[in-house]
Amino acid sequence: KNEVEQSPQNLTAQEGEFITINCSYSVGISALHWLQQHPGGGIVSLFMLSSGKKKHGRLIATINIQEKHSSLHITASHPRDSAVYICAVLPPGNFNKFYFGSGTKLNVKP
Amino acid sequence: DADVTQTPRNRITKTGKRIMLECSQTKGHDRMYWYRQDPGLGLRLIYYSFDVKDINKGEISDGYSVSRQAQAKFSLSLESAIPNQTALYFCATGPGANTGELFFGEGSRLTVL
C-alpha cells in the first residue's frame, strides 16, 4: 500500500512548456513537501505546504487538504528543470514518519 | 559548504565488509535521519535520532546500525554488507521545534559486490 502516489512517473516536455506533477495521499497530514533530486543525487526541498498555494520563481505548489491532493507546476520549463520531483507528506504530531512518493522523472528537452 | 555533509559520496565494497557512512550537519538541528533510496521506490527510513541519547529504528533497520556521536554527527554502519544493500543513502536533518522542515545531504552511493 502506497500512502503517497505521484503521477506521472515519467514526463518529457519541450522547453517552454507548462508542466504539472500530481501527488495524491491517503493519510492525514500536517505538512507536504515537494523535493527536487538532480541527476547528481542530492535532494533539496522546494516547498513545504500545509494549505493553499506557494510560489517561488517559475515553480508553483498547491494543496487541497480536503481532496488530499497537491500539484507542482513549472511555468516556462527549462532543461535545467530536468530532475526527479518527489512528494513527501508528514502525518500530524509525528516527525519520525515522512511518507515519500516514488518520484516523477522530468526531462525537459531544448 | 553544504549544511548536511555525507561521506563518502561513492563507495564500492565487497560482500561481508563493514562499511560506515558518515553524516555531519552545521544547522544545529536535533533530529537526524538515515534513509535509503532504491530505483522505483520512495525513500525508506532506516534509523532516526532526536538527540544524542535517542536512537530509534525505522522501517528497514535490519542489517544496519547507527551512532549519534554528537548533535552534529550521525553515522550509519553496515556490519556485514550484502549485495541487496546496494542503494543510494541519504542523511537528513530537521529542527526540533514543531515544524516539518527537512534538509538532506547529497547522498552516498553504495555498491556491494
B49-68 tens-digit pLDDT: 988 899 999 999 999 999 99
Per-residue confidence (pLDDT) for residue B1, from 0 to 100: 60
Per-residue confidence (pLDDT) for residue B96, from 0 to 100: 66
A46-53, long-range: CB < 8 A, 24+ apart: A46/A72, A46/A85, A47/A72, A48/B100, A48/B101
Chain B residue at shortest CA distance from A90: B100
Q: Is the pLDDT of residue A108 over 90?
A: yes
Of B100, B103, B104, the CB nearest to A90: B100
- Residue B75 C-alpha, separation from nearest chain A C-alpha, in angstroms: 18
B69-89 tens-digit pLDDT: 999 999 999 999 999 999 999
Q: Is the pLDDT of residue B99 over 80?
A: no
Q: Calculate Rg over the CA atoms of chain B.
A: 13
Write down the mean pLDDT value for chain B: 92
- The verdict on a CB contact (< 8 Å) between B56 and A96 is yes
Q: Is the pLDDT of residue B39 over 90?
A: no
Q: Calculate Rg over the CA atoms of chain A.
A: 13
Mean pLDDT value of segment A56-70: 96
Q: Is the pLDDT of residue A71 over 70?
A: yes
Q: Is the pLDDT of residue A2 over 90?
A: no
